[in-house]
Chains A and B, each alone.
Chain A
Amino acid sequence: MAETSGTQAPPAPRRRVDAGSVATHAVLSLGALVMVFPFLWQLLTALKTLAETSRVPPTFLPDRWNWSSFEEVFTALPFREMLTNSAINTVGRTLGQLVFCSLAAYAFARMRFRGRDVLFALFLSVLMVPSSLLVLPQYDIIQRLGLLNSTPALFLPGMFSAFGTFMLRQFFLALPKELEEAARIDGAGSFRIFRSVMLPLIRPALAALAVITAMWSWNDLLWPLVVNTDPREMPISAGLTSLEGQYETNYPVMMAGSLIASLPMLLVYVFLQRHFVQSVALSGSKS
Chain B
Amino acid sequence: MSVFPATAAAKAKGRGTTAAGSRPRPRKNQRAAYLFIAPLGIGFAVFYFWPLLQTFAFSFTEFGAFGGHTFIGGDNYARVIKDVTVWQALGNTLIYSAIGLTALPIAIVVASLLNRRGLRGVALYRALYFVPFVTLPVAVGLVWNWLYNGDYGLLNEVLGRLGVDRNHWVSDPSTAVYAIGAVMVWSTTGYYLIIFMAGIKGIPRDYHEAAELDGAGALRRFFTITLPLLSPTLFFASIICMINSLQTFDLIYIMMAEKNPAIGDTQSIVGLFYKWAFIENAQGAAAALAFLLMLLIAALTFLQFRLQKRWVHYG
User: Hey, which bits of chain A sit against chain B, CB under 8 A?
Assistant: 17, 20-21, 24-25, 27-28, 31-32, 34-36, 38-39, 41-42, 45, 53-58, 99-101, 103-104, 106-108, 111-114, 116, 119, 123, 126, 128-141, 156-157, 159-160, 162, 165, 184-185, 187, 189-191, 194, 215, 218-219, 221-222, 225-226, 236-238, 240-241, 244-245, 248, 251, 254-255, 257-259, 261-262, 265-266, 269, 273, 276-277, 280-281, 283-285, 287
- Besides A35-B129, A112-B26, 7 other CB < 8 A contacts? A31-B110, A42-B139, A132-B270, A134-B51, A136-B51, A240-B138, A266-B131
**Can you list 9 A-B contacts (CB < 8 A)?**
A58-B154, A112-B33, A113-B33, A132-B249, A136-B51, A141-B50, A284-B236, A284-B237, A285-B199
B52 touches A134 (CB 8 A): yes
Residue picked from A38, A134, A245, A257, most chain B C-beta under 10 Å: A38
A130 touches B290 (CB 8 A): yes
Chain A interface main SS type: helix
A237 touches B136 (CB 8 A): yes
| Min C-beta distance of A199 to chain B, whole Å | 12
Bound-state Cα–Cα, A240 to B147, Å:
18
B side interface size, CB within 8 A:
94
B37 touches A107 (CB 8 A): yes
Known contacts A185-B16, A190-B29; A265/B294 CB under 8 A: no
B40 touches A123 (CB 8 A): yes
B143 touches A104 (CB 8 A): no
Bound-state Cα–Cα, A107 to B39, Å:
12
A104 touches B40 (CB 8 A): yes
- Closest partner residue, chain B, to A115 (CB atom): B34
A54 touches B151 (CB 8 A): yes
| Min C-beta distance of A272 to chain B, whole Å | 11
Whether a CB of chain A sits under 8 angstroms from the CB of B98 is no
Chain B interface main SS type: helix
| Min C-beta distance of A28 to chain B, whole Å | 5
Known contacts A132-B247, A187-B11; A221/B198 CB under 8 A: no
- Closest partner residue, chain A, to B286 (CB atom): A136
| Min C-beta distance of A131 to chain B, whole Å | 7
Q: Mark B58-101, 1 if CB is under 8 A from A, else 0.
A: 10000000000000000000000000000000000000000000
A35 touches B128 (CB 8 A): yes
Chain A residues with CB below 8 A from B50, complex form: 137, 141
Whether a CB of chain A sits under 8 angstroms from the CB of B186 is yes
Contact residues of B between 256 and 295, Cβ < 8 Å to A: 257-258, 270, 273-274, 277-278, 283, 286-287, 290-291, 293-294
B134 touches A269 (CB 8 A): yes
Bound-state Cα–Cα, A114 to B297, Å:
32
Chain A residues with CB below 8 A from B223, complex form: none
Q: Out of A244, A245, A269, which one reaches B131, CB within 8 Å?
A: A269
| Min C-beta distance of B10 to chain A, whole Å | 11
Q: Out of A185, A222, A281, A287, which one reaches B198, CB within 8 Å?
A: A281
Q: Which of B171-179, B189-197, B306-314 contacts A (4 or more CB under 8 A)?
A: B189-197
B257 touches A248 (CB 8 A): yes
B294 touches A130 (CB 8 A): yes
B110 touches A36 (CB 8 A): no
Known contacts A35-B128, A36-B131, A39-B131; A132/B293 CB under 8 A: yes
